Structure 1
Amino acid sequence: MSSVVRKVPGFADIDWSMPWFAPFAVRGRRWQQAALTSEAALLDAMNADAQLSRHTVLDGRQLAFVAQSELPAHTAYEAHIGATGCVPTRHNLHDFFNALSWFQFPRMKAAQTARGSAAVGSMGRGPTRGSTRDALTLFDENAVLFATADPALSAALRAFDWQRLFVANRDAWGQRCEARCFGHALLEKLITPFKACTAHAWIVDVPPEYFAWPDERRSAWLDDTVSREFSTDEPLSSQAFAPLPVLGIPGWWPENEEPSFYDDVSVFRHGRRTRSSDARIAPSKASQAVAAFPVSTGKGEESPDSTGQGDG
């Protein structure tokens, strides 16, 4: 009996022309070349950019990237970043995309770190993580930002109404809604995209003029808006997300040009309907999406703290 050997994607396999990678491409291409040289070269490239950007983490600490070996034993990943400003980084795709997210959405990452560090401080590092840390992990690993100026489209997403979201309102994409990848495990998965690849969508209401802004301004606006949401004392839970099969996004995958693409109910599932207009409390099947579609590519990242690194 023959067995199929599955090729593990590497740094050379990133196709920056894909729509989910394109926002990260300018910096990503430079880092890719450094990563193909050595771990030290990649850390040097990351830290050179960190010095130029002057991004900060908790309490004004300068963002920096260090080897994973510098994370002390029995120290929570996010607590270490909050205390030092230093992000423990392995020489792999998962942490490569994590670092890129720090530059694309620096306020969001800093707010996440602060909230996660506070949760560790209140509950400690142990088997009980709490809903806040679990929600932050889902966001950090697998989130896509669904920005929309049309409440009917966010309602369609929450209601699993894929025909309305992707077919009937196909021309709305880029005009009244868009999706931007945030989760670094999601980006890692999308090196080898598959139809069932499902993100946790965080819905962001944007003003109509948002879609006339240049790309950089949109990213900055989302970064500021969502970071302020994380900076409140409002409780967080997995119920804040809606599952979004990302290859269904118009313009992201050639096969979805055919309406029959969305007839596959194993991917475009029928979910519970909700009358709630609040995306933060509306029932979702995000937890089922996680169970069905692991967060990573088979390296043990699908559950919180499964790597020993924490939420990284």
Structure 2
Amino acid sequence: MQVQEAARVGFADIDWSKPWFAPFAERGERWQQAALKGYAELLAEMNADAGAMQQRTGRGQRLAFIAQDDLPPGAAYEAHIASTGCVPTRHNLHDFFNASMWFAFPRIKAALNARQSAAIDVLGVGPTRGGVRDTLTLFDENALLFACADPALAAALRGFDWQTLLVSRRDAWGTHCEVRCFGHALLEKLIAPFKACTGHAWIVDVPSDYFGWPALARNAWLDETVSHALLNTEPLTSRLFAPLPVLGIPGWWPDNESPVFYDDASVFRAGRRSR
């Protein structure tokens, strides 16, 4: 199968009714139709939205999307975005979801780019990224935003207390905690979900009235709060995340209606380190 045809098959598999995709469906469905037509059509649709929103990257450059082949030889991906505003983008699901996050959570994406490019300025591009860049990449690729107004639920997540978080307190989901998918590699994996699919949850303490706000207001609040944390948290390490099996989230997978679903210790593991 040719590359172009393989890409079309992948885009056709996006089911916007799934809870991990649904928050991004309004723009995503339009982009999906463009992607099914072709690479140029997808870039044109993305750039039309970027122009309308006047989105900026980590160093204040106007956002645009370019073909991957237009990235100059030897240029570092994040540094190129920071200096030019141009995001090299392939005709595939991975980059489709990456671009989507520039619109869903623009401040978070700009913060990630700012810290990545700052680290490159200091250390250059070597065979390894280093701890800070590894953490930023982990966030960018696999993060879940766990918005929580109840410290006991956040503690249950940090402590691998799945019975409290996902069984005995499952009625708290939607009223005291919720999740937004952010990582674009995670979203790509969820095209074909599997039980062990696990995101890295970034816990966000939210005010109690958060859950009464409209979805757009909640997203904007998360965008501002998390971007500020990414720019100012020191040290920035992978220990700031908590693993969360995505299909265990109440309401996200039919099989988890039965408590037996959570008895699988190969997925819902006991913690092996203190937090």
TM-score in same-fold range (> 0.5): yes
Tell whether the 8 Å contact from 1:197 to 1:247 is kept in structure 2 after alignment. yes
Whole-angstrom CA distance in 1 between matches of 2:23 and 2:191:
15
Q: CA deviation at 1:60?
A: 2.1
**2:133 is matched with which residue?**
133
1:29 and 2:56 are equivalent in the alignment? no
How far 1:129 moved relative to its partner?
1.5
Judge conservation of contact 2:46–2:65 (CA < 8 Å) in 1: yes
Give the deviation of 1:86 after TM superposition.
0.5
Identity of aligned residues (%): 69
Unaligned runs of 5+ in 2: 1-5
Specify the alignment match of 1:241 in structure 2: 241
2:165 is matched with 165
Q: Whole-Å Cα distance in 1 between the matches of residues 108 and 131 of structure 2?
A: 19
Distance, in Å, in 1 between the alignment partners of 2:58 and 2:239 is: 27
Which deviations, in whole Å up to 9, do the C-alpha atoms of 1:88-119 show, x marking residues without a partner?
00000000000001100000000100000001
2:202 matched to which residue of 1? 202
State how far apart, in whole Å, the 1-side matches of 2:260 and 2:212 are: 31
Which residue pairs with 1:183 in the alignment?
183
1:1-312 to structure 2, matched below 5 A, reads 10-232=10-232, 234-272=234-272, 274=274, 282=275
Task: State the 1:233 CA deviation.
Answer: 5.8
AA in 1 matched with 2:160: F
Runs of 4+ in 1 over 4 A off after TM superposition: none
Q: Is the 8 A contact 2:145 2:203 kept in 1?
A: yes
1:80 match: secondary structure: helix
1:130 to partner: Cα distance: 1.2
SS in 1 for 2:75: coil
Between 200-209 and 120-129, the greater mean CA deviation after superposition: 120-129
Q: Separation in 2 of the partners of 1:61 and 1:48?
A: 16
Distance 1:264 1:233, change over 3 A: closer
Does 55-64 or 16-25 show the bigger shift?
A: 55-64
CA RMSD of aligned residues (A): 1.2
AA in 2 matched with 1:197: C
- The alpha carbon displacement at 1:58 in A equals 3.0
Q: 2: CA distance between counterparts of 1:32 and 1:233?
A: 36
Q: For residue 69 of structure 1, give the secondary structure of its aligned residue in structure 2.
A: helix
Q: Distance in 1 between matches of 2:214 and 2:92?
A: 32
Shift of 1:127: 1.4
| 8 A Cα contact 1:144 1:183, kept in partner | yes
Letter in 2 for 1:109: K
Q: Which moved more, 1:99-108 or 1:234-243?
A: 234-243
C-alpha distance in 2, partners of 1:273/1:83?
Answer: 40
Secondary structure at the residue paired with 2:146?
Answer: strand
TM-score w.r.t. length of structure 2: 0.96
Helix, strand or coil: the match of 2:251? Answer: coil
Match of 1:293 in 2: none
Distance in 2, matches of 1:119 and 1:273, equals 28
Q: Please tell me whether the aligned partners of residues 13 and 191 of structure 2 are also in contact (alpha carbons under 8 angstroms).
A: yes
Deviations 1:198-233 (A, max 9, x none): 000000000000000000000000000011111226
* Contact 2:58–2:112, Cα closer than 8 Å, also in 1: no
Q: Alignment partner of 2:81: what SS?
A: helix
Runs of 5+ consecutive residues of structure 1 not aligned to the other structure: 1-6, 275-281, 283-312
More helix by share: 2
Partner AA of 1:115 in structure 2: R
| Cα distance in 2 between the residues matched to 1:156 and 1:231 | 26
In 2, the alpha carbon distance for the partners of 1:60 and 1:186 equals: 27
For residues 130-157 of structure 1, the C-alpha deviation after alignment (integer angstroms, 9 at most, x for no partner) is 1100000000000000000011101100
Deviation at 1:59, TM superposition (A): 3.1
How far apart in 2 are the matches of 1:182 and 1:233? 19
> Are 1:159 and 1:272, in contact at CA under 8 Å, matched by a contact in 2?
no
1:192 partner letter: A
Q: In the alignment, is the contact (CA less than 8 A) between 2:59 and 2:114 conserved in 1?
A: no
Cα distance between partner residues in 2 of 1:71 and 1:273: 41
- Contact 1:11 1:32 (C-alpha < 8 Å) held by counterparts: yes
Question: Aligned residues, how many?
Answer: 269
In the aligned structure 2, how far is the partner of 1:256 from the partner of 1:233?
35
